[in-house]
Amino acid sequence: MKKTLLNLFKQSGGNFLSGEELSRRLNCTRAAVWKHIEELRKEGYEFEAVRKAGYRLIHVPDVLTQEEIKYQLDTQFVGKTIRYLPEVESTQLVAHQWAEEGAPEGALVVTEHQSSGRGRLGRKWHSPPKTGIWMSLILRPQIELRKAPQLTLLTAVAVSRAIKQMVPEIDVRIKWPNDLLIRSKKVCGILTELNAESDRIHYLVIGIGINVNVEPDAFPQDVRPFATSIFAETGVRAHRAELVRLICAEMEQLYQLYLEEGFKPIKLLWESHAAFIGEKRRINTLDGVFEGIIRGIDEEGVLLLELNNGIIKKILSADLPLE
């Protein structure tokens, strides 16, 4: 009922809605309407109440509740099912458990704060409360196991496009394989984990962490030289639920394109957003440190590094440090 009530206010164009009209449209008592409005006030929504005129919504808080994310969400399945938790240890852990219980494809776990957020290679991910987007998406693609890393590259394209839609003046670049950069500083990390057997994928959990409205001095001292946020770059506080909606729409569009046409169109999009192509970089791999010019990715999503002797080395897994 709260979701319906919120939608009525948002669709009213800032006009007053009387208690009588609201009770009629919600099929409940005026006392119940007042109770739900009070609950929304506790969540940060602000209403103006005028005798004989009724109520009108004057402020929508920057929260990541189901109601806010689903409002005007234009997708068929991504984000249609949401599990919102104010605080969790990790959205990845919640998503894995939910996926094993049968969560549908496109289901989303969202939180305001992670106490033990983590990134690739077991690194800790700093997730300050109510300032970023910390979420995990469940997908169930019918693809070969070896192609699972391509979904990380697809997600990077989707998130970069969504950020660009919301803040056109920002130039977001993708650092292979799973980071988004603004002016060579990390603004987003992507962590893809899977549950599979033999050559069959049961599900993927794609974790997305975005520094949206994080204050520059809120980053731990050791990561400040390498981390940034949308707010730090623009001085504008972005509405996080709107950005989640944009990400869901981009993910669904690109995911369906991928399932229909394969990785090739995703590869072209990825390279158009990529950082460091044509630049000489150092790459840390399990086989050692290699230096060369980054030439893009191949048809499978493997990084291509042109070594000093002209040989093209294919990099399956590595760490490309920010220098």
Two tokens, residue 299: 């048809």
Give me the sign of the Cα torsion angle 212, 216, 219, 224.
positive
Helix 264-273 × helix 149-166 angle, to 10°:
50
pTM: 0.89
Alpha-carbon distance values, 101 to 106, 202, 211, 260 (Å): 14, 12, 30, 28
Give yes or no for a contact between 151 and 142, defined as CB atoms under 8 angstroms apart. Answer: no
Tokens 């799973």 locate to 178
Given a cut of 70, whether residue 121 has pLDDT beyond it is no
> With bands split at pLDDT 50, 70 and 90, how would you rate the model's confidence at 223?
confident
CA–CA separation, 315 and 306 (whole Å): 11
Helix, strand or coil, per DSSP, at residue 292: strand
pLDDT of residue 323: 65
CA–CA separation, 51 and 191 (whole Å): 52
pLDDT of residue 321: 78
Given a cut of 70, whether residue 124 has pLDDT beyond it is no
**What's the pLDDT tens digit per position in 48-106?**
999 989 999 999 999 999 989 998 899 999 999 999 999 999 999 999 999 999 999 99
* 90 Rama class: left (phi>0) / alpha (psi -120 to 50) / beta: beta
> With bands split at pLDDT 50, 70 and 90, how would you rate the model's confidence at 22?
very high
Q: What is the dihedral of CA 38, 64, 109, 245, to 10 degrees?
A: 130
Quickly count: other Cβ atoms within 10 Å of residue 310's Cβ: 8
Percent share of the chain, pLDDT over 90: 79
**What's the pLDDT tens digit per position in 244-291?**
999 999 999 999 999 999 999 999 999 999 999 999 999 998 888 999
